[in-house]
Amino acid sequence: METERLDRFPLLARLPAEERTILAGAFVEEHVEAGRTLARSGDFGYALYALEEGSADVVDPEGVTLRTLVAGDTFGEIALVLAGRRSATVVAAEPMRVLSLFARDFLRIRESVPAFEVYYDRKALWPAASLERIEAVLAPADS
């Protein structure tokens, strides 16, 4: 896959170019039908998704939409990086095209993408933190 496709995602575009190149080789494109559940709260996570086209709803256990994800959003990173359980249920609201990074592929490249892991690990530790606050924490490591 072309590295430029990852540049459409703010969280991935901020990574070093060499890491984006490695990640581009690990992501796969998937077409998702409306209504498909991509992540279920409490299940073990096995993929990070980057939404290229379409939209998905983050829903509570009763099916009430809490948030709608759109092109440029990513989800699933917390469970992938921390090898844990999903923190939310995400259902395709319409047909979507997503870029998926599966756990088996992430484990294969993990040591080659340290900024990716640090970034998402810190995001998981501070889920309420803004992107700017996370970047401020990472800045000294980049110097």
Phi-psi group of 81: left, alpha or beta (phi > 0 → left; psi -120 to 50 → alpha; rest → beta): alpha
pLDDT at 91: 96
- Lowest average pLDDT, out of 46-55, 58-67, 78-87, 118-127, goes to 118-127
**Cα(2)–Cα(25) distance, integer angstroms:** 8
Q: Quote the tokens at residue 98.
A: 């997503």
Mean pLDDT over 32-56 rounds to 92
Q: Give yes or no for a contact between 50 and 98, defined as CB atoms under 8 angstroms apart.
A: yes
Question: How far apart are the C-alpha atoms of 46 and 41, rounded to whole Å?
Answer: 13
Q: How confident is the model at residue 141 (pLDDT cuts 50, 70, 90)?
A: very low
**Inter-residue contact 112 to 58 (CB < 8 Å):** no
**CA of residue 13 relative to chain centroid, distance:** 12
Q: Identify whether the C-beta of residue 112 lies closer than 8 Å to the C-beta of residue 20.
A: no
**Nearest-CA neighbor of 106 among 40, 66, 50?**
50
pLDDT in tens, 80-132: 766 667 778 999 999 999 999 998 898 888 888 888 777 665 554 444 444 45
Q: Nearest to residue 96, comparing CAs of 32, 8, 5?
A: 32
Pair 98, 48: CB distance under 8 Å: no
